[in-house]
Structure formats: C-alpha cells, structure tokens
Structure 1
Amino acid sequence: MKVLISGGSGFLGTALSKQLLAYYQTKDQPIDITWLTRNTQQAHLHDVQLMSYDTLKDTDAAFDVIINLAGAGIADKRWSDERKQQLMDSRIKPTQALLDFIARSSHKPTCLISGSAIGWYGTQGDTPLTEDSSFEEDFAHRLCAAWEQLATKATELGVPVALIRTGVVIHPSGGMLGKLLPPFKLGLGGQLGDGTQIMSWISREDWVAALIFVLEQQLAQTADAKPHAQIYNFTAPNPISNAVFTKAVGHWLHRPTVFTLPRSLLQLMFGEMATLLVDGQKVLPKALEDSGYSFLQPTIAEALREQSD
C-alpha cells in the first residue's frame, strides 16, 4: 500500500507515520509512506520518502491512500488579519494541490482522509455536539468549513472522503500539553478564566489508533459504493472542564495549580484567539463509537498516566 501524507512531519503526522509502519509490518503487509512537503531537505523518518509540491504537479506516481494533515497551528500566533489568511492558505493550498493530483491521476486513491477540527462547530458552551450537530458562526468555523468543503470535492472525482474533526490532542511532546508543561512544572500552572469551559480532548495514542481504524474502514468499503464524505469527531468520550484538566495535570506532575488567568487578561493577551482558551465545546465521538472503535485512553487520568509509563 502506498500512502501520501501532507503535514507528515508534524506533531500528529510523525506519530501516525511511525504507527502505520509498525501496524502494517505486524500484518505482514508492505507499506510505502511519502510525505508531501515544501522542504525536501528536512529531517524525516527512516523508511519515509519525501516529495515536493512541485514534483506532485507532474508525477505519475500512484497512491492508494492520501492523508491530508497540512495546516499551520491555529493557536500558535495571535489572529491578525494576516495570520488568519496564513491559516486559511496553509489548509486550502495543499488541499487544492491534492485535488488537482487526484483529478489527473489515472489510478485514483481508495480514499482521502482529510484533517479538520472541532472548531467547525463554533462556540457552543456545554451543549453536547455530535457529527449531526449544527454550528455557530465564527472564524474557527469558517476556517474548518472552507477546508472541509474543498476536501469533499474529491467525492466528485470518485474518491471517498473521511473528514477528521480533531479536538485538543494530549501528549507531552507537543500540542497544548507540551506548551503547558514548563509553567506547570514550575508550580505556576492554573485554570483559565473561571475554569468551567468544556475541553474536548483526545490522547495522541487514540488519535493515531482511531485514524488507522478509520483507514481500515475506508479500505474495506466495496468498490462499487457511491463515494461520499463521512465525518468523524476525534475526541475522547469524556470531555472535561478546564478546572478538572488543570487539577489532573497538577496531580500528574505533583505540582500545585493555584493560579488563575482571568478571562479579561487572556483576551488582552490573545485577542480574538482567546476564544480557544475560554469558550468551551462539548464534542462527542458518536461516529467513532457507533463504528465500533474502542478508546485506549477514554479518561484524562488514563491519558496522563500513560505518559508516565
């Protein structure tokens, strides 16, 4: 099986690539992974090849699966107008490049798995949200909606699409938890705002395992089935408040968590982007669970405990 991954060198893509190689080795099935990148000189995993976007325009290579994870981190910088455009371009341009490749390819991939985020739902407090829920209009929704709408066009080219709406990914090597570790280890950790906002999270181990689960489902579809787009919320089944998360991290690190960053200060520091920190979303993984996926780390305590092993 030949797999093309955009964003393969990132926090999620690297972990996914390692597990794909290991998983299919245990099944005695050969797998070739290629990372689509703008920098073919970057460091990469052993047994992973690199391909530039310029090469993609002309290559006659064929891929059985395409996984689209490219996109600048939404919480990495304050949301200026320029940054918003960068966030949009970093998702739309790679996705369009993949669609152009699929359109001219004589060997269509079996499926396109395309990233998105639970930001699609917008800010909805503690309202339970599944893949069938509607949205509230805001920048995060518009960003995710444009990304998903473009990726879904692959169905018009005869390729099924799985849209992965990812929550806060928990792992100490990166993401939100990676950024929080330094202050928490110094005993400076604390809740954000009043701490009641709901955080929909998933461990990186479950994110990787769930994606391989979805991939296997896509590969098992009958060839004559009409291509369609399937949405999956990649969140654990037990969302928690920021206050509970803060206490759990403090307990895990054996550090106090007595500080509080007021909502007004966070809004002053981060502007519009502060909504990611102080406005909650209760997003549930209905499609994954209905499909039979069993979470490895369904609670935050289990997820953090695994990081200590």
Structure 2
Amino acid sequence: MRILVTGGTGFLGNPLCQDLGGSGARLVVLSRRPDRVRDRCGLGVTAITSFSELPSSLAFDAVINLAGEPIVGPRWTEARKKLLWDSRVELTRSLVDYIDRADVRPNVLISGSTVGFYGDRGDCILDETSGYADGFVHRLCAAWEAAALRAADFGVRVCIVRTGMVLAATGGFLAPLLPLFRLGLGARIGSGEQWMSWIHSRDYVAVIRRLIDAPDMSGVFNATAPNPVTNRQFTEILSRLLRRPAFLAVPAGVLRVLMGREMSSLLLGGQRVLPARLLAAGFRFRYPELEMALRDTLSQMPGILGVPP
C-alpha cells in the first residue's frame, strides 16, 4: 500500500507514520523540513516539499492530511490567524487540486480537524450531528473540512477526523503540564467545570488505520475516547497518579490577559464529545477511561511513575 501523508513529522503524524511504515506501507511525506522526515518517519520514507514533485501517474491507495501549525502557541494576531488558516485550509485546497489532477485517484482521503469545530458548548453532549458555537476555531475547522470534502466530487471516499486532546508520551498538551504538576503546582483552569474530550495516541492511530481499511466508512468521525472528563477531574486524576497535590486554580481573567480572549477560550471553554459513529461501527477503544490512559502514557516517560531515566 502506498500512502501520501501531510504533516507526517508532527505530533500526530510521526507515530502514525512509524506504525504504517512498520506494517509495510510505502510512505511519501510532505514536509517543509525534508531532512527531518527519515529520522522521524523511517529510513524508507520518501520526502517531498511540494505536490508539484509528484507525477500525476503516481498512484496512492490513501492520502492522510494532518498538516497545520499548532493552534495553541503565540497570540492570535491577524498574521498568526493567517498562518493557521493557510497551513490548514490553503494546503488542503492544494492537496485536493493535486488529487483532481492525478491519473489514478486515491481510494480514500483522511483529513484532520478538531473538536474545536463545535465551539464552547457547555454541558451539551455532542456527536457528529451536533451544532456549533461560532468562533475563529469553528470557522477554521469548517473551512478546513469543506476543502477536504471537495475530493468527494471526484469519487474519492473522504473521512474527516475531529480529534480531541491526544495523550502521548512524546509531547502534546501533556508535556507543559507535567513539570508543574510534579512540583505540586498543578492547577485547574478557571472553574474547572469545562469538558475535556481526549484520546490516547494508540487509539488515535487505530482510528486512522480503521478508516483506511473500511470502504463503508466516510464523512465526519469524532476521534475522542467515549468518556470525556471535566478539567477538574483531569487535574485530580493526574495529580493523584503523580502523588502530588493540586489545590491551585488559574483564574480565567489571568488567562485572558496572558493569552488573549480568543485563544484563552480554548482552555476556558470545552466540548463534551462522544465518538458516536466509531462506536456504532464497532470500534473498540483500548483506553476508554482517562486514568488508565494517563497511567499508560506516564509509564512510557523515563523518570515518571518510578520508571528510571
């Protein structure tokens, strides 16, 4: 099987490429840093920097589109918003244009999105059919998804994967929290009642592999564990596993000053998302509960949970 991956050296793409390559897939990875591709994705991976490097005669069985600048980072100035938009929406449009030109189109395009599509919906239980609260992240995700769904016009099966917070030993949202929690400075954010929809990295990879192999699966899928938690619950479980107190709270006003009102809404708001379509298709999560997922993730980190460095 030959697979084209965008964002293959990133937080989500790296373990996915390692898994697919280890299973014998022939990978082509689009990256702005082709020198990093073989180190991160495997020696047998082909690196490209532009779709123009791909001949129209080269046939792919699947295309996986995960490229995008990190949403949490520098303040959302207009320049930063444009970078976030271009790295997702414009790149996806270019990818679909390449698919349109190809002599043989792929069987499936799997394209990323996030549960931020739904906006801050409070305690509402959300599935793939739910509505949304408007905001920059929703508009970004909606345009990103629409750009990918255009490939369906060419007869390509399209799967949109709205991903929650991914737990992984290699980084992600957990990495900046651990030093604080290990010092006993872990803190809930704002009220702590906002919902966090999450998924273990191994389950995320399993979701993508399932979508590659299942010709009857298309459309939008929530890639989240079936048991979301509140920020307060997350803080309590993580601090208990690390055997550290977590009595502090980060006031909402402080976050708004430090991060700006729009970006701080990512942490102060939340989504209570269920993977309804995956569950209906019979997908079984290896890590359905947060405590077992966190315990497994932390056990892979040297020096954490008693594991020697």
> Which TM-score applies when normalising by structure 1?
0.92
Contact 1:192/1:260 (<8 A) preserved: yes
What is the CA–CA distance in structure 1 between the aligned matches of 2:13 and 2:57, rounded to whole Å? 24
Separation (CA, whole Å) in 2 of partners of 1:255 and 1:181: 11
- CA contact under 8 A between 2:29 and 2:37: conserved in structure 1? no
Unaligned runs of 5+ in 1: 25-29, 222-227
Distance 1:109 1:41 in 2: 26
Q: 2: CA distance between counterparts of 1:54 and 1:102?
A: 10
User: Partner letter of residue 4 of structure 2?
Assistant: L
The answer (yes or no) to whether the contact 1:198–1:241 under 8 Å persists in 2 is: yes
Tell me which residue corresponds to 2:130: 133
Q: Which residue of 2 aligns with 1:9?
A: 9
What are the superposed Cα offsets for residues 213-235 of structure 1, whole Å, 9 maximum, x if unpaired?
111113xx4xxxxxx95100001
Question: Deviation at 1:298?
Answer: 0.4
Is 1:175–2:161 an aligned residue pair?
Answer: no
Q: 1:289 aligns with which of 263, 279, 293?
A: 279
Q: Secondary structure at the match of 1:191?
A: strand
Where structure 2 has 5 or more consecutive residues not aligned to the other structure, the ranges are 301-309
Is the 1:53–1:97 Cα contact (8 Å) retained in structure 2? no
Q: Which residue of 2 aligns with 1:251?
A: 240
**Cα drift, residue 21 of structure 1:** 2.6
1-side partners of 2:235 and 2:279: how far apart? 27
- The SS at the match of 1:79 is coil
Match of 1:117 among 114, 118, 124: 114
Counterpart selection for 2:258 from 263, 269, 287:
269
Q: Which residue does the alignment assign to 1:93?
A: 90
Matching residue's letter, 1:35: V
Aligned partners of 2:145 and 2:193: how far apart in 1?
A: 30
Tell me whether 36-45 or 294-303 shows the greater mean CA deviation: 36-45
Q: Tell me which residue corresponds to 2:303.
A: none
Q: Is the 8 A contact 1:66 1:109 kept in 2?
A: yes
How far residue 173 of structure 1 moved from its aligned partner, in angstroms, is: 1.7
2:217 is aligned with 1:231: no
Q: What is the SS of the residue equivalent to 2:36? A: coil
1:89-124 per-residue CA deviation (whole Å, 9 max, x = no partner) reads 110222122112111111110000000011111110
Provide Cα deviations, 1:53-80, integer angstroms capped at 9, x if missing partner. Answer: 1544655322110000000111122211
* Amino acid paired to 1:10: G
Residue pairs, 1:1-309, within 5 angstroms: 1-22=1-22, 24=23, 30-44=24-38, 45-53=42-50, 55-56=52-53, 58=55, 60-218=57-215, 221=216, 229-271=218-260, 272-307=262-297, 308=299
- 39-48 vs 79-88, which moves further: 39-48
Change in Cα spacing, 1:50 to 1:59, as seen in structure 2 (3 Å) is farther
Q: Give 1:63's aligned amino acid.
A: F
For the 8 Å contact 1:155–1:229, the answer to whether it is kept is no
8 Å CA contact 1:172–1:181 kept in 2: the answer is no
Q: CA-to-partner distance for each residue in 1:251-271, whole Å, 9 max, x for gaps?
A: 122221121100111111111
Q: Is the 8 A contact 1:116 1:163 kept in 2?
A: yes
CA RMSD of aligned residues (A): 1.5
CA distance, structure 2, for counterparts of residue 76 and residue 209 of structure 1: 28
Superimposed CA distance per residue, residues 18-57 of structure 1 (whole angstroms, 9 cap, x where no aligned partner): 11233x3xxxxx4201111122222432222211215446
The AA in structure 1 aligned to 2:210 is F
Cα distance between partner residues in 2 of 1:292 and 1:115: 21
Cα pair 2:85 2:140 within 8 Å, conserved? yes
Query: What amino acid does structure 1 have at the position aligned with 2:117?
Result: W
Query: Contact between 2:3 and 2:63, CA under 8 Å: does it hold in 1?
Result: yes
Distance 2:73 2:200 in 1: 20
Q: Which amino acid aligns with 1:179?
A: P
Alpha carbons of 1:149 and 1:246: their partners in 2 closer, same or farther (altered >3 Å)?
A: same
**CA–CA distance in 2 between the matches of 1:59 and 1:189?**
52
The Cα offsets for residues 173-223 of structure 1, whole Å up to 9 and x where unpaired, read as 2111112112112221110011111111111111111111111113xx4xx
